[in-house]
Structure 1
Amino acid sequence: MFANITSAAAQDTWSLKRCVDYALQNSIQVKQQEVQKRLAELTLKQSQLSRLPNANGTIQGGYSDGRAASLLDNSYVNQSVFSSSGQLSADADIFGWFGKQHTIAANRLDAASNSFLLLKARNDLAFNVTTAFLKILLDKEQVKINEVNLKQTTQNLENTKKLVIAGSVPESNQADLEAQLALDSSTLVTAQNTVILSTLQLKAYMNLGFEIAFQPEIPENISDIPLAPIAEMSPEMVYSVATSTYPQLKSDELRIESATRNLKSARAGLYPKLTSYGNLYTRYANNYYIDPIKQITMPFGQQIDNTFQKDIGLSLRIPLFNGWQQRATVAKAKEEVFNRKLTRDLDNQKLKQDIYTAHANAIAALQKLSATSKGVEAAQKSYDFATKRFNIGLMNTIDYITTQSKLFKAQIDKVSAQYDYIFKMKLLEFYRDQKISL
């Protein structure tokens, strides 16, 4: 049973979808953006509740000793007094030029903006995970090529040793191949280490423990990964679609509207504000006497009734001069609207530049893939002819190793070009659809 469990764990593979899903659930960056979204929602809720009346209750108690005014005749006498009081106050805004309504609208727009920023963070993470996943696949393909190259060198060395023993070729041929074998072994180790580093990068995006075993699910044929035809991915079309789907631009537009609402709220502070208010107050003191001569204190309940006060009214606050603070607030709000428009234009410009750059890179990658494919075909033919000549002693070892190295480099270049083209096309698809898949 335990052997089966171990075998199942060892064969456990991670598909791209599994990697993306895990990253979205565990990424620290996404969680930080979720916190920002919740903070914006709390700010909105707080501003909405600010429309309700304010009510506050106060209870005080204290002790004093020394000369103080008598509560009966207001004369100063030496006395020790314990007193307590209670107060209930309330106020409500009646009219303030819709300042709070504009603030609520601004906070609602900010909350919606943060929702788009969260979507952007999730999309960017999915893209980064996909890119890192493709990098691992590329590095693993290069390891395979290095292994084949090492195997071929090893076989050639074994054959050369036999020929040296038979006296058919000089011993220097064997030495040359042994040096090439050492170089190929070193290159393989480097390629294997590159896979480890690429895997660590992907785990960092996923927030997956570095000690956890990771085996990517490798497609049977990388050429079968569906890609949109480059002719259908013109930069004008991709940009046109992206302007209506790109979360950053949507967030920018909402932040412009939010800043405009904040400007209106700031302007409302320049006008009078009407507020209603009401207060209830009462107190008790142990020097409130019924009979000062006998120092008989008035009962608690009677004191509460005798000192009970209440008032209600309206308050009109007219701003006259406050060190130009409110007008400075309005001026800053205007500049913030302008600044957010500039941010929108800058993000729009960057998106357009990125899309046109990605399209140019995709065309270049396709051309490079075509060239490297032809290069592999030519290098393979050259190597096949060289192998036949080398085996019958018509080619020296140095020339043969050079031919083999050219084939090896051509194969590496083709694999790199193939993955580079896939990445460039997936980047265009990401800009167009805001999602990515293999």
Structure 2
Amino acid sequence: MRISQIAGFFLFFCFFANITPAVAQDTWSLKRCVDYAMEHSITVKQQEVQKRLAELTLQQSRLSMIPGFSGNVSAGYSDGRIASIQDNAYINQSVFNASGSLNMRGDLFNWFSKQNQIAANRLDAESNSFLLQKARNDLAFNVATAFLQILLKEEQVKVNEVQVKQTLSNLDNTKKLVIAGSVPESNQADLEAQLAQDSTNLVTARNDVILAILQMKAYLNLGFEIPFVPEIPENIATLPMTPLGEMDPEMVYSAALTTYPLVKSDELRIKSADRAYRSAKGQLYPTLSLVGGLSTSYANNFYDRDGKLIPFNKQLDNTFGKNIGLSLGIPLFSGWQQRTAVAKAKVNVHSMELSRDLDNQKLRQDIYTAHANAVAALQKFNASTTGVMAAQKAYDFATKRFNLGLMNTIDYITTQTRLFKAQIDKVSAQYDYIFKMKLLEFYRDQRISL
């Protein structure tokens, strides 16, 4: 198969394989992507579950302050020699008996153990609220990053398409020159090989778009069979961005300490651990409780003096009893369990403080790294812009010389390839700079916009 036939096959695939009916396509803006992800993301739903569990724990600890009530009902049947109630003599008889009781117990004072536990659970619930906010913010940033990746891959497809068209145009002109005998046939073969390579690059670029869309669908929890067409901004260069000079890393870090949900969550977890420590200490002291109860019973062998069975209601009245009192619980020795729990709670406070310091250290490092990367990305973008201008000028001169037969095909293809690479580098550098700046804005404000 001739190289020209292979190139023709690639062109057919690149330009006609994706033809669809001319119907209005449903597009996805960044806002729509973020809103959809918030509603359907499994990660966010998992964090919502954790928040709900923390709220239920708080609710249960608050209800533990209410006095506890318990009821008991029992019934039994016995048959055999049993002491008679009348004369205490053993006789053969069958007896049915039943009893019931209602008991109450409520803490009056427990050295603030329960109150501190309630406070600890409340702080835990608040901490989980910030973790949920962090999950949502991280998801929004990941969606925005995936959106930028799709736009980048789409731009790279456009550059590849222009490259293919340029090579195809040069090939058409060369064919005419070959027929006229102005240039050797090898020039045509060289351009056919270049067209095949350019077509392959275009196929790869289009596949990269598909992969970027699949990544977006994973963040959205969107069915992979559902079409996804991004809403592409008219000019990516006009996206609103804070000037790099206003993004001092220390300033961004200071702002992040007031907005970053993980920072707030860490502080609340430390306070919660401190409250849990106080609650554990309270378990070392006596507990004063109010106790009370009601009870009654019935048996079918209770008779009056006349030998008649005492009625059910009357038995309940006769056996009805009440009690109320105070109970003082004094912990003496339980295998050192309580003191170990206090020691572990104190160590946990220190552990939470270390986690806070580690998270803050990582946040600061990430911000400084993002700033350094943004500076490098801007320099790379400026350099690539200059490179495109120089490569374009060289290509224009080369085209004129090639058309006049003053440049061989290999040198011309090399010049064209340099222009193509410079254009790809510029597009990549531009999106890389946008991403780095949006990352800094995200650290500072905990929000993302395109």
TM-score, scaled to structure 2: 0.92
Residue in 1 aligned with 2:48?
A: 34
Residue in 2 aligned with 1:384?
A: 396
Structure 1 position 290, deviation (Å):
3.7
> Aligned to 1:375, which of 383, 387, 397?
387
Structure 1 position 229, deviation (Å):
0.9
1:126 aligns with 2:140: yes
Which digits, 9 at most, give the CA deviation of each residue in 1:178-203, with x for residues without a partner? 11111111111111111111111111
- TM-aligned CA distance change 1:289 to 1:358, over 3 Å: same
1:142 aligns with 2:156: yes
- Give percent identity, aligned residues only: 72
- TM-aligned CA distance change 1:133 to 1:69, over 3 Å: farther
Which digits, 9 at most, give the CA deviation of each residue in 1:197-249, with x for residues without a partner? 11111111111222111111111111101111111101011011111111101
Residue in 2 aligned with 1:233?
A: 247
1:337 aligns with 2:349: yes
User: Is the CA contact 1:291–1:297 (under 8 Å) kept in the aligned structure 2?
Assistant: no
Unaligned runs of 5+ in 2: 1-19
Letter paired with 1:273: T
- CA–CA separation in structure 2 for the residues paired with 1:69 and 1:183: 108
- TM-aligned CA distance change 1:89 to 1:242, over 3 Å: same
User: Is the CA contact 1:68–1:79 (under 8 Å) kept in the aligned structure 2?
Assistant: yes
1:206 aligns with 2:220: yes
CA RMSD after TM alignment: 1.7
> Aligned to 2:203, which of 189, 197, 200?
189
SS at match of 1:58: strand
- CA–CA separation in structure 2 for the residues paired with 1:342 and 1:175: 67
**1:2-81 matches, cutoff 5 A:** 10-73=24-87, 76-81=90-95
Letter paired with 2:345: A
1:395 aligns with 2:407: yes
1:99 aligns with 2:113: yes
Which digits, 9 at most, give the CA deviation of each residue in 1:113-171, with x for residues without a partner? 11111111111111000000000000000000001101111111111111111111111
Letter paired with 1:215: V
Letter paired with 1:405: T
SS at match of 1:11: coil
Residue in 2 aligned with 1:278?
A: 292
> Aligned to 2:378, which of 366, 369, 372?
366
SS at match of 1:168: coil
Which digits, 9 at most, give the CA deviation of each residue in 1:306-326, with x for residues without a partner? 222221111000111011010
TM-score, scaled to structure 1: 0.95
- CA–CA separation in structure 2 for the residues paired with 1:66 and 1:112: 64
SS at match of 2:24: helix
Letter paired with 2:390: A
Structure 1 position 402, deviation (Å):
1.2
1:86 aligns with 2:100: yes
- CA–CA separation in structure 1 for the residues paired with 2:213 and 2:24: 16
1:264 aligns with 2:278: yes
- TM-aligned CA distance change 1:76 to 1:267, over 3 Å: farther
- CA–CA separation in structure 1 for the residues paired with 2:88 and 2:419: 111
> Aligned to 1:408, which of 410, 420, 428?
420
Residue in 2 aligned with 1:299?
A: 311
- TM-aligned CA distance change 1:289 to 1:355, over 3 Å: same
- TM-aligned CA distance change 1:291 to 1:144, over 3 Å: same
Letter paired with 2:109: F
Letter paired with 1:56: S
- CA–CA separation in structure 2 for the residues paired with 1:255 and 1:70: 66
1:348 aligns with 2:360: yes
SS at match of 1:297: coil
Letter paired with 1:280: L
Structure 1 position 277, deviation (Å):
0.4
- CA–CA separation in structure 1 for the residues paired with 2:85 and 2:277: 53
